[in-house]
Amino acid sequence: MRSSLLLSLSAAIVTVAGHSPTAKLNGVTYNGLYKDQVEFFWGIQYGQDTGGSNRFKPPKPFVPEHGCTVEATRPRAACPQEKGTNSLPLYLGNITEISEDCLLLNVARPNGTTASSKLPVMVYIHGGSFVAASKDEPASQPGGLILQSVEIGRPILHVALNYRLGVFGFAQSEALNKEGSENAGLRDQRLALEWVHKNIAAFGGDPSKITIHGQSSGGLAMGMQTVAFGGRKPAPFNQIIAQSQVLEGGITGNFTRDAMKRVTNVTSCNTTDVQSPATIRCLRGLSTSDLLKAQLDTYTSGPQANIGDEWLPVVDGDFLPAPPSELLATGQHYNVTTMIGWCEDDAQIFPDPLPSNASAVRQYFRQYLPGYTEQNLDHLLNLYPISDFHSSYFPNGTIQVTAQGYRTGRILRDIALTCQPFYFGEALAKSGNDVYYYVTNQTILTPILNHYGIYGYGKVHTSDFAYMFGNLSHYDIYDLPFHPEPADYALKDRASRSWASYAALGYPSVGGKGTLEGWKKGDNKDANYGVYVMGGPNEGYSGKGGKKATVEAMKLQKLQDRCSFLNRPDSIKQDGY
């Protein structure tokens, strides 16, 4: 039975019937379209309009009229954010249409899928600092991933969703807390996940096999959804993949409260206390454009503003009943198979400008870690001696990036993107869940970064996209330089097949299927935590039994020494999560 299904799916990739793909759900017909050699259903509404009196409030399910036909053939609006191509070179999207009526999702599936296919489901939650991007980001379109899943006989169905951003999705105040309206963006995500769990069978998905995955702030969403409600309510997913973030400092801090004050102060709502119900009523009365303008006009970045991650989740006593670290430490989380990773030079692109001397480095982290004691700040910096880092140079001998610049990037990477995953993974493993770690050590972004005058930054944030989504060609856009090498095409196949295998089987390496080879579970007691190195000259498992070159190269990063300090209870408390 299964082999005949796979044959029909493979054949459908070559020959597609003349009619559009359809799905029937609760008396409603959804018409889709063919794109990238797969079937898409675009812009399916899962939540009601969040504007007007619904602004800031928990989302309400959208129920289409019984007997109607939904033409799911265009993406529709993104949630309110700045329009244009404002996230280049890391993200490729061009936001042209925004609306508060934006709680939409896309479904993509192999050609020939039917309601009886029961395919494993992957649900993607996009990143963008909780202020930008959408389900339609070109770099994260799933066509290549789906095709590779069919190629190895493990076809998957993919969903991507919008959720509220910025002040619209992460507003905080005492008044909002009392009415249960904080963490609106996370609640949007949860509603979408519940929609998928309840309805995806009609599109050919298996609700008992749902993997959620996300990158950057979408990776943070993976962490927040895993500890949602302290794990008390039934989980609408079984597995997670968190890329380049899973937790974040500042959640128990004041970054978002400060941003909220600045937004309120530049509007007509500044005559009452920002914590009061009157201020929230006033903000709800503003037009979408006026509220968005206030957010954009007062947005700040830099280390003193959490590198731009100002709009954060909050401990509201409901969705997040306690700080995330406490929920993890006390077992108040869902038990889910977990994959977590980052890029080798993930955070190198964030400090702007890069500090170039020891004093500037210290000042940078003094601002970035406002809760750290002087003693802990000194301890942190001493774990990264300048002798571990070396400047890079242009061919003419001038400096590309100073050793102190690389030192800054590595410290920031370990704080925000590497050591927190080990803390998260250890908690999940202690509860009996399989946990896998990886680092991406290859990129096609170098020519694009050079095009923007950025040299020597290495394998930066989003470098894994092209490979795990199987989408090298999506970077051939806007006349940007596009020069993938044979090694990039090969890694694209291995990585996307491993992601599909993980979704289908719960582990990423499958013999004879062209996946990443020898990827074993993580080991928090190992010197290298059992991290799998994806791409580059030393690809392979860095834990016990791994290739000597891979193990020794990873040891140079001193992960145990550095992360043991960063994951100490006092460090976590001072980091604010």
State pLDDT tens for residues 379-407: 999 999 999 999 999 999 999 999 999 99
pLDDT at 18: 53
Write out the H or E segment, with its range, that includes residue 34.
strand 33-35
Please identify which of the residues 140, 149, 216, 244 carries the catalytic annotation: 216
CATH architecture entry for 2-298: 3-Layer(aba) Sandwich (3.40)
- 458: nearest Cα among 475, 439, 473: 439
- 154: nearest Cα among 497, 495, 490: 497
In this prediction, residues 232-261 reach a mean pLDDT of: 97
In this prediction, residues 569-577 reach a mean pLDDT of: 98
2-298 and 335-575 agree in CATH topology? yes
Q: Is the pLDDT of residue 183 over 80?
A: yes
Q: What does pLDDT average to over the chain?
A: 96
Phi, psi of 108 (to 5 degrees): -130, 140
The domain ranges of the chain are: 2-298, 335-575
How far is residue 374 CA from its own chain's centroid? 32
- 101: nearest Cα among 139, 46, 179: 46
- Whether 216 is catalytic: yes
Q: Is the pLDDT of residue 457 over 60?
A: yes
- The residue length of the chain stands at 577
Tokens at residue 334, please?
């869902």
pLDDT at 131: 98
CATH superfamily of 335-575: Alpha/Beta hydrolase fold, catalytic domain (3.40.50.1820)
pLDDT band at 36 (very low <50, low <70, confident <90, very high): confident
pTM passes above 0.85: yes
